[in-house]
Amino acid sequence: MKNFTKILFTIIFLCLFKLPFAQWVQVYTLPSCPFSIVSSGDKIFACTVVNGIYISTDMGMTFTQSNTGLNDSSTRDVIVRDSLLLVGTRTGVYRSIDYGVSWNRSGTEIPANIQSNVGELIFRGDSVLVATWGNGIFLSLDFGLSWTTINNGIEDLYLDCIFEHGGRIFAGSPTGGGIIETDDFGQTWVTRNQGVPRMWADPNKYVIITSFSNIGDIIFASTRGAGVLRSDDHGLSWIEIPTPNYHIWRTLTSDFSLLTCHDGTGVLKTDDLGTTWTDMSEGLALYTPDASIRSISKINDYIYIGTWSEKLYRRPIDELFTHIETPELENCFKVYPNPARDNITISGLLSSSNLIQVYIYDIQGTQLMHDQSYNQSKIELDVSILKTGIYFIKVLTKEKIEIGKLEIQK
Q: Are residues 315 and 340 in the same domain?
A: no
Residue 293 lies in a domain: yes
Residue 107 lies in a domain: yes
- Per-residue pLDDT at 316: 94
Question: pLDDT tier at 353 (50, 70, 90 boundaries)?
Answer: low
For the cut 90, the answer to whether the pLDDT of residue 210 exceeds it is yes
Residue 382 lies in a domain: yes
For the cut 80, the answer to whether the pLDDT of residue 409 exceeds it is yes
For the cut 70, the answer to whether the pLDDT of residue 16 exceeds it is no
- Per-residue pLDDT at 207: 97
Domain boundary among 319, 354, 378: 319
- Per-residue pLDDT at 242: 86
Q: Are residues 205 and 346 in the same domain?
A: no
Question: pLDDT tier at 375 (50, 70, 90 boundaries)?
Answer: low
For the cut 90, the answer to whether the pLDDT of residue 377 exceeds it is no
- Per-residue pLDDT at 8: 39
Average pLDDT over residues 259-263: 96
Average pLDDT over residues 322-332: 50
Say which residues have a Cβ less than 8 Å from residue 302's Cβ, sequence separation at least 6. Answer: 59, 314, 315, 316, 317
State which of 27-36, 236-245, 369-378 shows the largest mean pLDDT: 27-36
- Per-residue pLDDT at 350: 60
Judge contact between 322 and 278, C-beta under 8 A: no
Letter for the amino acid at 212?
F
- Per-residue pLDDT at 123: 94
Q: Which residue has the higher pLDDT, 12 or 340?
A: 340
For the cut 90, the answer to whether the pLDDT of residue 70 exceeds it is yes
- Per-residue pLDDT at 328: 44
Domain boundary among 295, 319, 343: 319
pLDDT for 262-282, tens place per residue? Answer: 999 999 999 888 888 999 999
How crowded is residue 91: how many other Cβ atoms within 10 Å of its Cβ?
Answer: 20
Q: Are residues 300 and 185 in the same domain?
A: yes
Residue 54 lies in a domain: yes
Q: Which residue has the higher pLDDT, 116 or 15?
A: 116
Q: Are residues 304 and 389 in the same domain?
A: no
Instruction: Report the CATH number at residue 393.
Output: 2.60.40.3080
How many Å apart are CA 303 and CA 314, to the nearest integer? Answer: 5
Instruction: Report the CATH number at residue 113.
Output: 2.130.10.10
How many Å apart are CA 136 and CA 168, to the nearest integer? Answer: 17
Residue 14 lies in a domain: no
Residue 1 lies in a domain: no
pLDDT for 122-169, tens place per residue? Answer: 998 889 999 999 999 999 999 999 999 999 999 999 999 999 998 899
Q: Are residues 272 and 353 in the same domain?
A: no
How many Å apart are CA 317 and CA 177, to the nearest integer? Answer: 35
Q: Are residues 275 and 362 in the same domain?
A: no
The percentage of the chain sitting over the pLDDT mark of 90, rounded to a whole number, equals 65
Q: Are residues 287 and 345 in the same domain?
A: no
- Per-residue pLDDT at 237: 94
Q: Are residues 275 and 194 in the same domain?
A: yes
- Per-residue pLDDT at 390: 84
Q: Are residues 119 and 234 in the same domain?
A: yes
* Count of domains forming the chain: 2
pLDDT for 24-69, tens place per residue? Answer: 999 999 999 999 999 998 999 999 999 999 999 999 999 999 999 9
- Per-residue pLDDT at 11: 37
- Per-residue pLDDT at 372: 80
Residue 118 lies in a domain: yes
Nearest to 390 by CA among 377, 370, 404: 404
Q: Are residues 205 and 350 in the same domain?
A: no
Question: pLDDT tier at 403 (50, 70, 90 boundaries)?
Answer: confident
Domain boundary among 291, 319, 347: 319
Nearest to 26 by CA among 313, 273, 266: 313
Phi/psi of residue 184, nearest 5 degrees: -125, 35
Average pLDDT over residues 8-12: 39
Least confident of 212-221, 354-363, 395-404: 395-404
Tell me which residue range forms the domain holding 171: 23-319
Question: pLDDT tier at 362 (50, 70, 90 boundaries)?
Answer: confident
pLDDT for 158-172, tens place per residue? Answer: 999 999 998 899 999
Q: Which residue has the higher pLDDT, 394 or 260?
A: 260
Question: pLDDT tier at 21 (50, 70, 90 boundaries)?
Answer: low
- Per-residue pLDDT at 17: 39
Q: What angle do CA 171, 158, 204 make, to 5 degrees?
A: 90
How many Å apart are CA 112 and CA 335, to the nearest integer? Answer: 59
What average pLDDT does the structure give for the chain?
Answer: 88
Residue 301 lies in a domain: yes
For the cut 80, the answer to whether the pLDDT of residue 209 exceeds it is yes
Q: Are residues 288 and 344 in the same domain?
A: no
User: What's the 3-state SS for 42-96?
Assistant: CEEEEEECCCEEEEECCCCCCCEECCCCCCCCCEEEEEEECCEEEEEECCEEEEE
Q: Are residues 366 and 314 in the same domain?
A: no
